[in-house]
Amino acid sequence: MLLFKRCADPAAYASLVSAVTADPNGKPQLLAPWESAAHAGETIDLEKPWDDPFVREWWSIEPRLADMDLREILYVGREHAPLISPEDRLSSEAAELLGALLEHPDMASQLNERLLKLPRTETAIVMDRVLSKAIQEQSWGTPPILDAALAVVAADPSQGARVGTFLRERPPAQITPSLVPKIADQPWAKDLFVHWRTAGVDGTVKRATILRL
């Protein structure tokens, strides 16, 4: 894991962290088919950030990680991607803000000034929890939880890449046109739009992204 953190694309590491955080047992199950293919000597067509020679070799290293709880392992590297197991790793202010974002995400913009005052280690933990809830969404237009994620990004722009990676990993069928203008002003959105143009999303989504490129 330390090797992956140091040598892989940061977006791939962020994606792995998101997968671990989202799984109730802390298992990065998205790795399962890739690890199986690597150990079988098979080649899989992938896109960035996973289409990388280092990552392909890394999958073949023992032990296989897809069925392992990685929460404690990733917590060791918390300066880049903190995982919460709890709220007791958050200050009382951060815990209160997290609760407000999860319970009333549609009012997230009202929390901007308070979020700006949080240490970056805490905004990363808050984003972990927001994305854990966001993964439950089945349609990505403008769900309220997106407002919560964007509010965290506004306070800590380094979290933007994580939101971009999260949206990139949503099934194409879940993406709807209304999402495009919602995130168009984000610096990470352009690469996401380029990806969607070839990712099998609905034609109206593709047309909407063309207008924004």
pLDDT at 16 over 90: no
Same domain, 108 and 185: yes
Q: How many domains does the chain have?
A: 2
Three-class SS of residue 20?
helix
Which of 131, 159, 166 is CA-nearest to residue 145? 131
Same domain, 116 and 56: no
Three-class SS of residue 92?
helix
In a domain, 194, yes or no: yes
Same domain, 205 and 126: yes
Same domain, 197 and 177: yes
Same domain, 30 and 123: no
Same domain, 191 and 106: yes
Mean pLDDT confidence for 107-111: 93
Same domain, 137 and 201: yes
Mean pLDDT confidence for 174-191: 94
In a domain, 81, yes or no: no
Same domain, 121 and 164: yes
Kindly give, in sequence order, each residue whose CB lies less than 8 Å from that of residue 93, ignoring residues fewer than 6 positions away: 114, 117, 118
In a domain, 128, yes or no: yes
8 Å CB contact between 115 and 97: yes
In a domain, 29, yes or no: yes
In a domain, 80, yes or no: no
- Picking from 48, 75, 102, the residue at the C-terminal end of a domain is 75
In the chain, % of residues over pLDDT 90: 42
Same domain, 154 and 195: yes
pLDDT band at residue 178 under the 50/70/90 scheme: very high
- Picking from 54, 75, 96, the residue at the C-terminal end of a domain is 75
Q: Is the pTM of this model over 0.95?
A: no
Same domain, 62 and 97: no
In a domain, 163, yes or no: yes
Q: In whole angstroms, what is the distance from residue 24 CA to residue 123 CA?
A: 21
Q: In whole angstroms, what is the distance from residue 1 CA to residue 146 CA?
A: 29
pLDDT at 158 over 80: yes
Same domain, 50 and 135: no
pLDDT at 90 over 90: no
In a domain, 82, yes or no: no
pLDDT per position as a tens digit, 18-61:
788 777 788 999 899 999 998 888 888 888 888 888 888 898 88
pLDDT at 80 over 50: no
Residue 116 has what pLDDT?
A: 96
Supply the range of the domain harboring residue 136.
87-212
pLDDT at 101 over 90: yes
Mean pLDDT confidence for 186-195: 92
Q: Which residue has the higher pLDDT, 17 or 160?
A: 160
Q: Residue 104: is it exposed, middle or buried by C-beta count within 10 angstroms (0-12/13-18/19+)?
A: middle
**121 is written with which tokens?**
């280690």
In a domain, 129, yes or no: yes
Same domain, 170 and 194: yes
Residue 75 has what pLDDT?
A: 56
